[in-house]
Structure formats: C-alpha cells, structure tokens
C-alpha cells in the first residue's frame, strides 16, 4: 500500500515547442513526425524520398492541458483505480448530496469516510471475465460491497490500513456503466481497485505512473497529442469512437512517439482517448493542440449595450436557429449580421432564478434566487451596478416585475420601471419607453446600459389580427378561444387534448413571438434615429423556454430541464463579427459578455465566461450545466444528459433526436458520451458553488492552475 502524489507540470515546459507551436510533417504512409520526414531503406540502398505534406503549425493557445484535467482522468494500474481520497473521485460520485465526507489523514495517508452507503458509477471497458474488487481502507469494522444492486460480500478491516477483497463472477462486469456500492460505518477509504482476473498479484506501478490513462473527450478539429511520456517500455495511443471501434494511432517505444501526434478526425463524436504502456508510464505535460488559425482582431468596445430578455422564448421558434413556420423577419435579418450562439442553455426553467443569473453571471444557489421566493445575495455582482459604477447610465423597463423586482435594489438602476404589465403587457409601449430613455442618454452624451423585458410570449398568449390567424385558421373554440391563460395551462395537464386544440394553443404562442419581433424592429429604428445604433450592441436572450405538449401534456415551464425549456436564444448584434457559434453557451455567460462588449472587466465573482472571443475564432469544445431544485442537466454540442428529481438520468442525442424522445442512457452504443457527461456532472455537483469559468475552465476542459488538478489522483494502492 502506498500514497501516490502525481507531480503537476503545466504545459510542456522549455525545449519541447516554441511559442509559435510545433510544426508537423506527414509522410506518405500517414505517420506524422516532428520536423521533416525521415527517409528509410535497407543498408546500401537509398530509398526514394517520400512526398512531404506542408507542415502543420499548432496553436500555442488554446489547448486542452491534460495535466490540468487530471480530475477527469480514468487511471488503470492493475485495473481501474477509483481514487477516493482525491478529486478524481468526483466523476464517479453522482449523488445529488454526496455521502462522501471531506478527506482526512489517518496514519499519514489520506482517505474519505462515507455516511451510510456510498454509490460510485464507473465505466468498464475490460471485457466480461472474472474480476476482483479491492477496497483500501482503515478504521475497523466490516465493509460490504454490492455491484449493480447485487450483494457480493465483504470483510473485516483492521485498525490500521488494509484491504477488503471481493470476487466478481464472470458476466457481471460487462462493457458499459456500472454502480459499485460500498458500505462501512467506520471505514476511511483511500482508493478502490477493480482488477481483471489474474492481475491481483501484479506489482503496482511506482513513481506516479500508470498502465493506462483514459480521457473521455470531444476532439477538436485537427487535434494533435503533444506529449513526451516517461516509460521504459512501449506505449500506445488509441482512440475509441462511440460505436466502439478502436483505432491505435501510435505504438512503439516512448522515444518514437512524435512530438505532435495527429489524432483521427471524428466529427461531432465523443471519444475515449487511451494513453497506454506495456509497463508503467507517466504522461506529465501532455496536451491536445489544434492547428493555428488566423484570428480576427478583437473589435473595439461599444459605447452602449441594450439587453433584451424576451420572457419564455424557445430558440426553435426563431428562423435564426433553424426551420420554423414562425415569422420573425427583423430578427432573422439582424441575426445574419450578428453572432448567433446555436446551443445556448438557460440556467433554470423559471423566471426568478434565470433572470438573476442573466444579470449576475452566477448560478442560482450562489446569487440566492433559487426559487420564486429567493432573494438576491447582498454580494451578488449585479450587471447594472457594475455598469453604473463605471459611469454608464442604467435603465430597466420591463413587463415582468415578479422576476425583476428583487434586482431593483442591488442593481442601483438610474431608472427602473415596470408599468406596462399592469396595463396589458404589450411590448409596444415598453419599447417606446426604452427608446426614449436611450435617446435622453445620448442627448446627454452618456454611455448607457439599457435592459428591456417584454413579457411576450409568456402567458397569457393573446390573439393578434393578421398574425395569429396565419398560424391557425380557426375555429377559435372554447375552452381557449383567442387567449390562453395560466389557468388554461393548469387544466391542459388533465385534458384529452385534440390535435386542433394543440394547433390553437401553439398558434397563439407563435403569434406572440412574431409580435415581439415587430417591437424589436422599432428598437433598432429608435436607436438609429437617436444616432447611437452604430455604437450600440443589442443582446437578445430569454430566461427560459415553454412546454407546448412535449413529454405528455406538459405546458408552461418549471417542470424539467429538457430542450423545450432550456434551449434559449442568445444573439449579439453589433460589436462582434457575424458568426454562428456551435459551442454550447449559458445564460450565466451573458453578464460577463455584456461587460466585455462595454470594455469593462468581468467581476471576479461571476461564474460564466465572456463570449466575444468565441465569435472571433472557433473555441474548444465545452459542456455547460442547468439546474432547478434537485434536477440538473449537462449539455455538450451534440449530447444532453438530463437528471430529474428522482435521480434518474436520461441521455439524448440532440443531432439524431432533436425533440428528445429517445433515451440513450441504457444503450451500449452511447456508453462513451454517457460517461463523458457523467464526468462533467460529477464535477458540477461537487464544485458548482465555487466554479468560475475564468479560472477553473469548463466542466470538460479544466484550465491550467485550477484548484482540482493537484489533488486529482492523490491516493492509490
């Protein structure tokens, strides 16, 4: 037994590549080597020179730093090691409230005690033969082990550090996800090993090495592995695709591994990247790099920002996001000259927490408005207060006082008005008032931050002549007529809705979307008339979406985290180049993005990240999260893991199944993306209150220097 502390070497250090990146040439055989291609041949015979492809220059930044991502590593010694004492535990512990306590040191070794039963979800990739589970622990008492709910046995622990071994019969551990449950009231566990049959007698690796390191990841286009492993024997680099096809990209002595190894192009698939050794190897300093790109110059900050948060707007009702019958001519044209974030996710499916996230850049449990009654924390970094502190004129005009009143005091707005909701909710008068305030600020030669909140298309969905009837010809029968209220939404759940009734309800919602588009057109016209349009960025977003019959008779919002509730638009018009950004973004990113547009630094307390840079050059893959009560979701570009109040997780392939009707969580063909998002979910559950994108990175791409890397794999047998 031993405790292993892995050294943290961020980057490759001196002598491995210059700041301009490694230049890579490709031989005719497809093998890639650093520098120029080497000729080969038999003794005394000169082989013809192989054709050499143009060198590839790798960008020094951005890169996925594998040292920084040690908390996401799955490490194998004699078998899979679950490093309970370190941060590497988090990707296996998916309980909403973790039973594992903070690490403690006993007799010079770190471990974690658990309260009651502790379940760990883990991937198995080593066949379906016999295996042995080894629990390394101290504390005395009995430890028992179960696999996928089946009790396997256990044993007694001594007061000193020892182990409990439990055999697993052939056929129980098949490829895919499994759940290991450990119970021991007095046990302090340092690590758990799951050994293949015949490996129990093998000597463990020394000096922080491993026989295999696996990382579940999305490979960016043109990805290269930049690494210099320390190993005495042969090493392999392999990539396994979602369909289970495994491709060995390199095999040979560690010294023969190219300084930059080209990895397969896999499109939008998630893969498992395996770094293996016949003996033991260290992979300190490894990175995933991409080819250097020309990056457009960052545009100058704008003078003003208008943030329009359209309440209850689904992104699939906008032509900027794909084919839809809903007509939004102004926004469709404006989005074509702006930046459209194609996979933006609402933080929560309810107005108070979501609006607070938009204006603070924090998740609900941090800013305080976790539900309808929550108040904003005294130290929340409210966007209006920051802009006002920098000398900008700040104004809010909106039709949802229920969501925004709690931000009035902390925001310190110069003007805060919610008059129109009391007089018939239409966006027209509200936008007119917003334009008047912007015009006054311009006349006073003041920069401004203006926030507008039209309530359309939130209930009540109203009929608009010449708009709504283009989506449904009638009849406008009871119980809805030409107006759907919140009371109607409550009744729908118990009704046997006909197809005509669903058409009627959806037409009324869609008509509201077209109505608000006409109000947006008046905003642009007003800013142009005030002479400030060319110095103003318009940011268009929504707090959450709206259910319109998906998942049974569900309507309204606040019932889950599926796509109809969390897929929300984010469009920036002005201050950024035209772009369609496929990397996921979050409503938590809006506040730091607004500050970036204005040329102001993001507040260090904000948890989202500024997105202007994402529109200038393709960023690396990203996973973002949503939450509401005990439910949470994590979203990658293509895959979406949604975990409900019961703790049951559903996995959806958003490319093949955009409506999220087919759960892939139990499909062996989706085991790799499921594990990828579970890795991210574990980190989110454990650290969401402290996570800050600017310093911690993304859930799938931790930043160098993040707080988790040092202790990620601290203890192993």
Dump pLDDT digits (tens) for 131-176. Answer: 999 999 999 889 999 999 999 999 999 889 999 999 999 999 999 9
| pLDDT mean over 241-260 | 96
Is-contact 462 509, C-beta < 8 A? no
Please say whether the dihedral angle defined by the alpha carbons of residues 606, 611, 617 and 621, taken in this order, is positive or negative.
positive
The CATH architecture of the domain made up of 622-708 is 2-Layer Sandwich (3.30)
> From the CB of residue 510, how many other CB atoms can be counted at a distance below 10 Å?
24
Average pLDDT, rounded, for the chain: 90
What is the predicted pLDDT for the residue at 4?
Answer: 33
How far is 481 from 487, CA to CA, in rounded Å?
13
| pLDDT mean over 625-635 | 96
Q: Is beta strand 536-541 parallel, antiparallel or unpaired with respect to 304-309?
A: parallel
Report how many helices (DSSP H) and strands (DSSP E) the chain contains, helices first.
13, 43
pLDDT tens digits along 88-102: 999 999 999 999 999
Please name which of 559, 610, 614 lies closest in space to residue 582, comparing C-alpha atoms.
Answer: 614
How far is 387 from 511, CA to CA, in rounded Å?
35
Report the side by side order of strands in the sheet with 150-157.
Answer: 118-124, 176-183, 141-147, 150-157
Cα torsion through 306, 307, 310, 313, rounded to 10 = 120
| pLDDT mean over 231-252 | 96
Pick the CATH number of 78-196 from 2.40.30.10, 3.90.45.10, 2.60.120.260, 1.10.10.10: 2.60.120.260
CA atoms within 13 A on the CB side of 286: 25
Cα torsion through 326, 330, 331, 337, rounded to 10 = 140
CA atoms within 13 A on the CB side of 618: 13
Bridge partners (DSSP) listed for residue 418: none
Residue 612, pLDDT > 70, answer yes
Dihedral pair phi/psi, residue 644, rounded to 5°: -85, -175
Is-contact 641 561, C-beta < 8 A? no
Residue 420, pLDDT > 70, answer no
What is the predicted pLDDT for the residue at 713?
Answer: 76
What is the predicted pLDDT for the residue at 34?
Answer: 34
Task: Provide the residue count of the chain.
Answer: 717
Confidence of residue 714 (pLDDT cuts 50, 70, 90): low
Pick the CATH number of 308-615 from 3.40.640.10, 1.10.3720.10, 3.30.1330.60, 3.40.720.10: 3.40.720.10
What is the predicted pLDDT for the residue at 338?
Answer: 97
Question: What SS3 state is found at 698?
Answer: strand
What is the predicted pLDDT for the residue at 436?
Answer: 98
**Which tokens go with 434?**
């917003």
Confidence of residue 323 (pLDDT cuts 50, 70, 90): very high
Residue 555, pLDDT > 50, answer yes
Query: Which residue in this structure is represented by tokens 């996001």?
Result: 321
**Which tokens go with 501?**
């009734």
Which H, E and C letters describe 551-608, residue by residue?
A: CCCCEECCCCCCHHHHECCEEEECCCCCEEECCCEEHHHHHHHHHHHCCCCCCCCCCC
What is the predicted pLDDT for the residue at 421?
Answer: 57
Of 37-46, 231-240, 624-633, 646-655, give the lowest mean pLDDT range.
Answer: 37-46
Question: What SS3 state is found at 510?
Answer: helix
What is the predicted pLDDT for the residue at 303?
Answer: 98
| pLDDT mean over 291-303 | 89
pLDDT tens digits along 483-534: 999 999 989 988 999 999 999 999 999 999 999 999 999 999 999 999 999 9
Per-domain residue ranges of the chain: 78-196, 308-615, 622-708
What is the predicted pLDDT for the residue at 494?
Answer: 87
How far is 355 from 584, CA to CA, in rounded Å?
19
How far is 542 from 307, CA to CA, in rounded Å?
10
Q: Between these two residues, 9 and 172, which has the higher pLDDT value?
A: 172
Q: What is the DSSP string of 264-287?
A: PP-TT-EEEEEEEEEEEEE-TT-E
């Amino acid at each position: 037994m031993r405790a292993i502390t892995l050294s943290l070497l961020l980057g490759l250090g001196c002598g491995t590549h210059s700041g301009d990146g490694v230049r890579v040439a490709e031989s005719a055989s497809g093998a890639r080597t650093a520098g120029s291609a080497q000729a080969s041949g038999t003794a005394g015979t000169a082989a013809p020179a192989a054709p050499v492809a143009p060198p590839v220059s790798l960008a020094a930044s951005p890169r996925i730093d594998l040292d920084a991502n040690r908390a996401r590593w799955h490490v194998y010694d004699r078998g899979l090691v679950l490093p309970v004492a370190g941060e590497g535990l988090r990707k296996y512990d998916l309980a909403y409230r973790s039973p594992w306590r903070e690490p403690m040191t006993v007799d010079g070794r770190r471990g974690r005690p658990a309260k009651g039963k502790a379940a760990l979800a883990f991937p198995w990739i080593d066949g379906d033969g016999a295996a042995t589970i080894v629990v390394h622990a101290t504390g005395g008492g009995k430890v028992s082990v179960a696999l996928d709910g089946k009790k396997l046995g256990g044993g007694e622990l001594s007061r000193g550090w020892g182990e409990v071994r439990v055999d697993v019969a052939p056929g129980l551990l098949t490829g895919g996800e499994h759940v290991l449950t450990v119970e021991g009231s007095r046990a302090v566990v340092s690590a758990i090993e799951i050994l293949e049959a015949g490996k129990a007698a093998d000597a463990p690796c020394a000096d922080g090495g491993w026989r295999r390191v696996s990382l579940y990841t999305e490979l960016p286009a043109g990805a290269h592995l930049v690494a210099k492993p320390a190993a005495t024997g042969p090493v392999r680099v392999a990539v396994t695709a979602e369909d289970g096809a495994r491709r060995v990209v390199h095999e040979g002595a560690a010294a023969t591994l190219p300084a930059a190894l080209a990895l397969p192009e896999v499109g939008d698939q998630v893969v498992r990247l395996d770094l293996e050794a016949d003996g033991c190897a260290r992979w300190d300093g490894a990175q995933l790099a991409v080819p250097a790109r020309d990056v457009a110059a960052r545009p100058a900050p704008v003078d003003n920002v208008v943030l329009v948060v359209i309440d209850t707007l689904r992104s699939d009702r906008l032509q900027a996001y794909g084919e839809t019958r809903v007509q939004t001519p102004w926004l469709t044209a404006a989005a074509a000259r702006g930046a459209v974030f194609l996979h933006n996710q609402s933080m929560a499916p309810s107005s108070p927490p979501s609006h607070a996230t938009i204006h603070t850049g924090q998740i609900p449990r941090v800013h305080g408005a976790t539900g309808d009654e929550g108040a904003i924390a005294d130290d929340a970094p409210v966007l209006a207060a920051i802009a006002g502190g920098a000398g900008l004129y700040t104004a809010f005009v909106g039709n949802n006082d229920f969501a925004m009143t709690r931000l009035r005091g902390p925001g310190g707005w110069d003007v805060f008005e919610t008059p129109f909701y009391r007089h018939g909710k239409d966006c027209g008068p509200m936008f007119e008032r917003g334009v008047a305030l912007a015009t006054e600020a311009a006349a006073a030669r003041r920069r401004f931050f203006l926030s507008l909140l039209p309530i359309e298309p939130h209930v009540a969905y109203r009929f608009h002549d010449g708009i709504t009837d283009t989506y449904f010809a009638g009849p406008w029968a009871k119980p809805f007529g030409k107006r759907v209220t919140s009371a109607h939404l409550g009744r729908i759940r118990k009704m046997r809705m006909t197809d005509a009734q669903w058409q009627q309800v959806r037409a009324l919602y869609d008509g509201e979307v077209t109505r608000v588009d006409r109000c947006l057109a008046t905003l642009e016209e007003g800013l142009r008339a005030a002479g400030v349009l060319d110095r103003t960025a318009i940011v268009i977003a929504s707090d959450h979406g709206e259910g319109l019959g998906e998942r049974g008779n569900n309507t309204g919002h606040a019932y889950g985290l599926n796509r109809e509730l969390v897929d929300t638009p984010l469009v920036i018009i002005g201050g950024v180049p035209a772009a369609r950004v496929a990397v996921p973004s979050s409503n938590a990113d809006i506040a730091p993005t607004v500050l970036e547009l204005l040329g102001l630094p993001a507040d260090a307390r904000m948890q989202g990240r500024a997105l202007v840079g994402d529109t200038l050059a393709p960023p690396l893959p990203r996973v973002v999260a949503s939450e509401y009560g005990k439910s949470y979701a994590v979203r990658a570009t293509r895959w979406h893991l949604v975990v409900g109040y019961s703790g049951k997780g559903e996995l959806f392939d958003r490319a093949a199944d955009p409506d999220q009707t087919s759960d892939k969580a139990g499909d062996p063909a989706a085991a790799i993306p499921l594990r990828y998002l579970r890795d991210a979910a574990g980190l989110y559950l454990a650290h969401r209150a402290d996570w800050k994108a600017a310093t911690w990175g993304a859930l799938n791409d931790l930043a160098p220097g993040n707080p988790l890397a040092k202790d990620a794999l601290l203890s192993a047998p």
